[in-house]
Amino acid sequence: MYSIKRLLIGRPLKSTALGEQKLNKTKALAILSSDALSSVAYGPEQILIVLVAVGVTAFWYSVPIAIGVLVLLTALILSYRQIIYAYPHGGGAYVVSKENLGVWPGLISGGSLLVDYVLTVAVSVSAGTDAITSAFPSLHEHTVLIAIAFVLFTTVLNLRGVTESASILAYPVYLFVLALFILIGVGIYDIATGAVPPDLHASIGTPVAGISLFLLLKAFASGSSALTGVEAISNAILNFKSPAPANASRTLLMMGALLAVLFSGIVFLAYYYGISPRTEVTVVSQIAEQTFGRHFMYFFIQGTTALILILAANTGYSAFPLLAVNLANDKFIPRIFTVRGDRLGYSNGIITLGFLSIVLIVAFQGNTEHLIPLYAVGVFIPFTMSQTGMMVKWIRQKPKGWIFKLVVNSIGALISFTVTIMFFITKFEQVWSVIVFLPTIIYVFHRIKKHYEAVGKQLRLTTCEPAMPIEGNVFILPVAGITHVVETSINYAQSLSAQQIIAVYIPFEREDETAFEEKWNKFHPDVRLVTLHSPYRTIIQPLMKFIDTVERKANESNYQVTVIIPQFIPKKGWHNILHNQTSLMIRARLLYRKNVIVTTVPYHLKK
Amino acid sequence: MYSIKRLLIGRPLKSTALGEQKLNKTKALAILSSDALSSVAYGPEQILIVLVAVGVTAFWYSVPIAIGVLVLLTALILSYRQIIYAYPHGGGAYVVSKENLGVWPGLISGGSLLVDYVLTVAVSVSAGTDAITSAFPSLHEHTVLIAIAFVLFTTVLNLRGVTESASILAYPVYLFVLALFILIGVGIYDIATGAVPPDLHASIGTPVAGISLFLLLKAFASGSSALTGVEAISNAILNFKSPAPANASRTLLMMGALLAVLFSGIVFLAYYYGISPRTEVTVVSQIAEQTFGRHFMYFFIQGTTALILILAANTGYSAFPLLAVNLANDKFIPRIFTVRGDRLGYSNGIITLGFLSIVLIVAFQGNTEHLIPLYAVGVFIPFTMSQTGMMVKWIRQKPKGWIFKLVVNSIGALISFTVTIMFFITKFEQVWSVIVFLPTIIYVFHRIKKHYEAVGKQLRLTTCEPAMPIEGNVFILPVAGITHVVETSINYAQSLSAQQIIAVYIPFEREDETAFEEKWNKFHPDVRLVTLHSPYRTIIQPLMKFIDTVERKANESNYQVTVIIPQFIPKKGWHNILHNQTSLMIRARLLYRKNVIVTTVPYHLKK
């Protein structure tokens, strides 16, 4: 076990090595923007899927819709830039909402994002697997297995540590950007030189029968799912080399620029080539095939697309554990999420994320595209919350130049809110579950916090009654025979100058009773023996009843009751099945039901 | 949990109620002979399956083969009658072989029978389910589930107790006997009145091309699988009302007579009707259909056949636990098999049997007919062993009339041995696994016995070195903070007048170290504090190392080391996931790896 762990995640790191685990801008851009950048692989397609319901002539609407998405992108990038400088210790939407709007809005943001990162992993890994099976249809039936393998791989990579995963993951991200630049460049060159027939698409402005504002809003909302992931940098500022805020801000701007270019390029090519969305071949794959044929470049684009989609999952792995730490520090989720693993990453968060996304992938059999709207809503709710939080902050604090900052965040909040509402109106059947799970999660958060607070109060020395003074000790020793183990236990109890030692023997047959008593009196006449005949052949019940009686009496005179339980430790694991596990059962019952102390005396068998 | 158990198996019985759990002859015949009687539902079919390989003209050979089987049956019944009187305390083949031939032959018999009873349950329940699906082909696809349900039902019935299951199971057994008597009677009447055309079968003596001695021996061996189960009564004499041996012997004779009549009747009708074995319809079902058409009687016969086949499993449930008790008393299998359950049955044996047969049914997907030869061999090996054992006994002891007894057992031994050899020669590809699993089981028996003997020796006061005198006590108390729990634990340790109490604090950060030391000195300056900085953020490793050091020093002056571990007991089960289970991990590591005593101080959270 131990050596497998070492092989997978490497040797443990000292806490002092934490500083070496920070990211420079190039690596940070790669691992924190892979989610946002990868969205261009499915964002444009989402727009076309909505428009195809009216007919192919409606496809030209994708161009104005894309312009709308770019406006939204600009607003979000500027808003998040302000959040980065205002909250240089990270935490993103959760911290911003909590500090400016209150605990409940904070939990709404935190809860949405937590679920959202699980969706990020599931959706992007599934999409990456789809890109692979588009190229190799024979793999289509193994989708779920391939997706699970990728999740496991990413989980292990992240357990190894953030810099190590960044080093490995940077190449594919930049290769993807390069591949799409070549695709868009060659595509536009072809169009400019007239190599592409201009009659593949309806020209912009062609009247379309049956188009409605509702449909266009739905297409816009679908297209803005390409913006998921832009918040990741604001959550992970702590992972940057110093000066962290400046580096993070520059990385954010760079990401925005790349995203804008790639998104508009793909939308434009898809429109110009008149591409229709198809079930088993993605839009990017169709564009690449039309541009290059089944040429090396086609496979290069498919390969890097698959890779970036899978790596988009990595953004979830960077952001989820840090968000979980924030929530756990505030006692809304189990404390275990604040513990750094062997490689200094928050390994419990990483493992939880991997596990939950595998559950999702299996539950949806790899068809997670149904989850994209849910995923988008889960991003736009915290988008709205955090921008609103920033508005409140500027109005309250009124720093220098606050009017401009307020305007930027207000535009961001307004558009995000509009998109959220659009999702609820146009895709209610896909996003209604948010209304169920979000209150549920927040309720659970609340219960957990309440429990931790209650425990804290009970443990604090100042708030609880002083510990009971112990006037004396009673030791109870269940015995099954007169053996070496019993001798050792009595020896121990006597060395502790216990005021009373009571051996308890529980025979199933009346005849055993007197026979054992006689033997005992020869063996240890100084130790009192109590025999409890058990007509129903159970040891636990009479023993518990007896302990109850002793405990009641002991309590009257402030005596403490201790039960001594010998435990055989066989030399080999399989030997355990040869011994009744009565001592385990007794110990569990005693600890959970009674207020007695349980002392386990191990007896290591040598053979 | 508890109330479900009560509902299923009833209230617990006192040990003194054991006498009321004995069987009278009628009930004993029903539950102990259902296995043997049910064999007539598939024994004749097994003969025909072998003969059909040569052609339908060969079917007349089933008549002389059946006569051979009847001779064998007579020899076995007489032999087992002698075993019952010689070993009135039961135990059957295992005890007889062990006492007269030695431990190894005893284990061969015991091991074969133990496996065999599992096969009994799997094979007979599967066969019963087949009979049901013969009548209702639409249920065919649910075979495995139906079979598992029947195993569970029989297991629960047996956990309720032997008399209760006998009362319920007696009716179907006698109904089956009645049904077959009617079938055979009407069949023979039809034949006698000429209602059946006499040209359906080749007459006895018709020369058959391609018949060989090998094939006839194979058919004979297959037919003798109908004799499995005749040993059950000799294993379960203890379940009879007194005088147990006389009652058991009479029951055995009655069973032999019934078996002889039913077996010859079915073989004769199958031969006269010229019935061929078919995959989805059993031979008995074909006979019934030819005799009555799809009449009420047909369904009555099918129904009772299905029932008796399923109930045949019950013979396994009566014999397996008693055999297991014998083996466990001799320390060849875990002691747990000697424990009587709430209803005085040996419930661990019953549950083990049910579990193992479900495993077999699932593994073979309900097609357990392949197991019939294996099952038969597993019976004939102990048949041979026990008869040989009786031969040795008569020769050694020479009681009155021993020559006749010796002759009976010698014939029994000879035929049983012949059948065993025939199985190995004619069906080697189906029974070879005996050669693998029997030595394996016996090896396991041997290892278990060796372990128990080693443990016994280590525990006995006379053989082991006297317990170490304890000169003083050192208490180690790992602390995570200054809380009420720590206060309670220190209080306890001090009340035991421990010579040394050492609190151990394990900070992950250097800064924590001095801060905690200062706080501690204000809190309990009388208790020594040791801080162990853990750069790798693990508690277990530095703690274990420290305990090692303390233990080494303590051993030098005969001091005993005790580690006090506080354990939170939350009010609700789900709260456990909110607390690190460090204390559980520490306790497990300490008990299994070190020679220290572990004292668990429970802290019951009130909220």
ipTM metric: 0.80
Decide: helix, strand or coil at residue A538.
Answer: coil
A484 vs B464: CB contact, 8 Å cut-off?
Answer: yes
Lowest model confidence (mean pLDDT) among B30-39, B147-156, B322-331: B30-39
B470-494 b/e with 16+ CB inside 10 Å = b?
Answer: beebbbbbbbeebbbbbbbbbbbbe
pLDDT over threshold 70, residue B292 = yes
B537 vs A340: CB contact, 8 Å cut-off?
Answer: yes
Of residues B38 and A578, more confidence is placed in B38
Tell which B residues from 541 to 570 touch A, by Cβ distance under 8 Å.
560, 562, 567-570
pLDDT over threshold 90, residue A236 = no
Question: Among A6, A15, A347, which would you mutate to test the B interface (most chain B Cβ atoms within 10 Å of its Cβ)?
Answer: A15
Share of chain A above pLDDT 90, in %: 36
| Nearest C-alpha neighbor of B172 from the set B353, B56, B309 | B309
Amino acid A259: pLDDT: 94
Lowest model confidence (mean pLDDT) among A305-314, B255-264, B379-388: A305-314
Mean pLDDT of chain A: 87
For residue A477, the 8-state DSSP code is: E
Amino acid B464: pLDDT: 59
Element (H, E) at B602: strand B597-604
C-alpha A242/C-alpha A239 separation (Å) is 9
B607 vs A454: CB contact, 8 Å cut-off?
Answer: yes
Residue A600, chain B, CB below 8 Å: the answer is yes
Amino acid A464: pLDDT: 59
A134-156 b/e with 16+ CB inside 10 Å = b?
Answer: bbeeeeeeebbebbbebbeebbe
pLDDT over threshold 90, residue B550 = yes
Tell which B residues from 391 to 450 touch A, by Cβ distance under 8 Å.
448
C-alpha B398/C-alpha B206 separation (Å) is 49
C-alpha B568/C-alpha B605 separation (Å) is 7
**B427's tokens:** 């069906």
Contact in structure between A492 and A477 (CB atoms under 8 Å): no
pLDDT in tens, B236-291: 888 888 888 999 999 999 999 999 999 999 999 999 998 888 877 788 888 998 88
Which domains are seen in chain A, by residue range?
43-452 (1.20.1740.10), 472-604 (3.40.50)
Q: How confident is the model at residue B348 (pLDDT cuts 50, 70, 90)?
A: very high
Amino acid B165: pLDDT: 77
Amino acid B137: pLDDT: 81
pLDDT in tens, B485-519: 888 899 899 888 767 999 999 998 888 888 999 99
Lowest model confidence (mean pLDDT) among A315-319, B89-93, B113-117, B562-566: B89-93
Mean pLDDT of chain B: 87
For residue A370, the 8-state DSSP code is: G
> How large is the average pLDDT for residues A183-187?
94
What are phi and psi for residue B240, nearest 5 degrees?
A: -85, 150
Beta bridge partners of B504: B478, B530
Amino acid B570: pLDDT: 81
Q: Exposed/middle/buried for A354, CB within 10 Å: 0-12, 13-18, 19+?
A: buried
Q: Which residues of A touch B497 (CB under 8 A)?
A: 496-497
- Where would I find the beta strands (DSSP E) of A389-439? none
A560 vs B340: CB contact, 8 Å cut-off?
Answer: no
Lowest model confidence (mean pLDDT) among A389-393, B5-9, B245-249: B5-9
Give B336 to chain A, closest Cα distance, Å.
7
pLDDT over threshold 70, residue A466 = no
Amino acid A124: pLDDT: 86
pLDDT over threshold 90, residue A312 = no
pLDDT over threshold 80, residue A279 = no
pLDDT over threshold 70, residue B466 = no
Lowest model confidence (mean pLDDT) among B25-29, B43-47, B366-370, B426-430: B366-370
Beta bridge partners of A398: none
B605 vs A482: CB contact, 8 Å cut-off?
Answer: no
What is the model's pTM?
0.78
> How large is the average pLDDT for residues B283-304?
87
Of residues A427 and A264, more confidence is placed in A264
Residue keyed to tokens 């059947």: A429
Lowest model confidence (mean pLDDT) among A102-106, A471-475, A498-502, B443-447: A498-502
Amino acid A73: pLDDT: 92
Q: How confident is the model at residue B398 (pLDDT cuts 50, 70, 90)?
A: very high
The C-alpha angle B184, B297, B128, rounded to 5 degrees, equals 85
Share of chain B above pLDDT 90, in %: 35
Amino acid A442: pLDDT: 94
Residue B340, chain A, CB below 8 Å: the answer is yes
C-alpha A427/C-alpha A585 separation (Å) is 54
Amino acid B111: pLDDT: 93
Beta bridge partners of B409: none
